[in-house]
């Protein structure tokens, strides 16, 4: 696969720099950008894809809602990024029953583009302090767990994906495969 330009949007999550390093280690051109970067500046970078990092609170998600509605490149939302996608398209987020980071077994409901080769079940590392409670209209439900019904989803027509878990951490099995699947989407777009 050619070297793609992947911008990592910093939502002040503890794993933002790890996402960046993992993307770089997978031989992609990548840089971290603040979540208040104007859309015109992002487009001037000519990215092949965006990754919205996790973060501590939605109030600090900057322009993420605008990015997912207005930028026409593949987007992967991780944890808070996943929740921001849901909110931007009319879904709902609520506090999860299980906070803190933990190992979770996820059931893949649909081996869509980004989850290809990960099913039928995979073990991931996730926090469920907050989680997507209601899918946005038309979104495709990709994965669930005993802890959270909406572990992964995708937009019905755009290459926009969200996962509650952290593919960038070593505790997540097949995390790099998920990222490589996302890069393939970026390469085709």
Per-residue pLDDT tens over the stretch 17-41? 999 999 999 999 999 999 999 999 9
Residues sharing a CB contact under 8 Å with residue 15, sequence separation 6 or more, in sequence order: 53, 54, 78, 166, 168, 169
- List the catalytic residues: 79, 166, 168
Q: What is the mean pLDDT of residues 122-147?
A: 96
Total count of domains within the chain: 1
- Please state, in angstroms and rounded to a whole number, the distance separating the CA atoms of residues 77 and 163: 6
What is the value of pTM for the model shown? Answer: 0.97
- The domain that holds 51 is classified in CATH as 3.40.50.880
For residue 81, the enclosing domain spans 5-188
Q: What is the mean pLDDT of residues 129-135?
A: 95
Given a cut of 90, is residue 13 above it in pLDDT? no
Q: Compute the mean pLDDT over every residue in the chain, rounded to the nearest whole number.
A: 96
Given a cut of 90, is residue 52 above it in pLDDT? yes
What is residue 100's predicted lDDT score, i.e. its pLDDT? 80
> Sheet containing 101-108: which strands, arranged edge to edge?
29-34, 5-10, 49-52, 75-78, 160-163, 152-154, 140-145, 101-108, 121-127
Instruction: Summarize pLDDT for 58-113 with one digit per residue, the tens.
Output: 999 999 999 999 999 999 999 999 999 999 999 999 999 877 889 999 999 999 99
What is residue 14's predicted lDDT score, i.e. its pLDDT? 85
What is residue 44's predicted lDDT score, i.e. its pLDDT? 98
């Amino acid at each position: 696969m050619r070297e793609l330009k992947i911008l990592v949007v910093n939502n002040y999550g503890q794993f933002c720099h790890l996402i960046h390093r993992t993307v770089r280690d997978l031989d992609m051109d990548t840089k971290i950008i603040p979540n208040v970067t104007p859309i015109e500046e992002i487009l001037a970078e000519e990215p092949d894809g965006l990754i919205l990092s996790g973060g501590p609170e939605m109030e600090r998600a900057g322009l993420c809602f605008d990015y997912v509605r207005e930028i026409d490149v593949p987007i992967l939302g991780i944890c808070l990024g996943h929740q921001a996608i849901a909110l931007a398209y009319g879904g709902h987020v609520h506090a999860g029953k299980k906070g803190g980071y933990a190992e979770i077994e996820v059931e893949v409901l649909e081996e869509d583009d980004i989850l290809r080769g990960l099913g039928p079940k995979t073990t991931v590392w996730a926090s469920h302090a907050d989680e997507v409670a209601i899918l946005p209209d038309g979104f495709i439900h990709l994965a669930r767990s005993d802890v959270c019904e909406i572990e992964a989803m995708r937009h019905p027509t755009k290459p926009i994906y969200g996962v509650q878990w952290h593919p960038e951490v070593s505790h997540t099995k097949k995390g790099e495969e998920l990222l490589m699947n996302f890069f393939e989407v970026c390469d085709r777009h």
